[in-house]
Amino acid sequence: MVVVDAGVGDRLALAVVVQYRAATTEQVHLLTAPGVRIEQTRRRLAKLRGEGLVDRVTLPQAGRTRVWFPTRYGVRVTSEWPELRGRRPARAVSDRTAVRLKAAHALTVTETGLSFVQDARHHGDTCTPLDWIPEVHHATGGGEAVIPDALLFYRRGRSGGHWSMLRAFVEVDRATMGPERLAAKLTAYARLHEYVPQTGGRRQALQQMPGPQAWRRHYPLFPRLLFVLDGTGPAGITNRITALRAAAKSTDVLVLRATPVLAAPLADLLQHGPSASVWHHIHPGYDGQQVAWHHSA
């Protein structure tokens, strides 16, 4: 058994770096210790690096930004922690070259998660740094899977009063793929919504009544779909929302009738916070409607 002697702050910082895969010093600071000076976070990360738990790469094209990522030892240590059990990242998460090449997208995903955490703090809701879980694998059969950029847990309301738990699959699009490829993700989520795993052999499966969808093992309701759009101007945002709406019209599945599917520019989330941002409804028949991300289906 691997043992590490770390305080509460060290433990949270390491857990965040492992779970988020990549984060800048400022992002780690704002996620884990916004109430203290950033120098304390710098010292903490340096300590964790000295213990072989995290490492960093420097991005020369981004003002020499330091990007922190977990080492294999750091991943091994945290795999025994209850708060991260079952969330072990892929091996490439500790590869310096892979981290450097994926840094732009990974840091954008981290920044999106940070916006939800900060929004919850501002409104008195509950969304801890570890309630943002990147790249959760969801099998859809035939060796295929849906892997959202992040799974979000967000509890609206205060303890002891009225509250509701919201769950969302979040896709962060940086305009590195065409609008049609982005829109095709709706079809993938439709497959996930309908996927029922087979038990036993093919003949036995044909004789059985259809079982529950696989996602029901993990969620009481199918998580809402949030598309966060970045890397393009207003015209590009409009084109991508139009493509998503066109795909929604041609995808006649239950998930699009029972689950909120919304899109918003990342710039709006960073400026106003997710709760105050205007989200565009993707559902057929809702063209032009704009809602809050936490609205009811």
Q: 32-46 burial, b for 16+ CB within 10 Å, e for fewer?
A: bbeeeeeeebeebbe
Task: Answer whether residue 206 shows pLDDT above 60.
Answer: no
* Three-state DSSP state, 173: strand
Residue 168 in contact with residue 152, Cβ under 8 Å?
Answer: yes
pLDDT digits (tens, 9 = 90+) for 274-297: 999 989 988 866 666 678 888 765
179 pLDDT tier (thresholds 50, 70, 90): confident
Residue 52 in contact with residue 44, Cβ under 8 Å?
Answer: no
pLDDT digits (tens, 9 = 90+) for 97-118: 999 999 999 999 999 999 999 9
pLDDT digits (tens, 9 = 90+) for 228-261: 999 999 999 999 998 888 888 776 555 667 788 9
Quote the pLDDT of residue 2.
42
Task: Answer whether residue 160 shows pLDDT above 80.
Answer: no
Quote the pLDDT of residue 266.
97
Share of the chain above pLDDT 70, in %: 87
Q: Name the phi and psi angles at 134, rounded to 5.
A: -70, 145
Quote the pLDDT of residue 56.
96
Residue 265 in contact with residue 275, Cβ under 8 Å?
Answer: no
In this prediction the pTM is 0.90
Closest CA relative to residue 129, chosen from 120, 137, 138: 120
Closest CA relative to residue 288, chosen from 279, 277, 297, 276: 279
Which H or E element spans position 23?
Answer: strand 23-24
Residue 277 in contact with residue 115, Cβ under 8 Å?
Answer: no
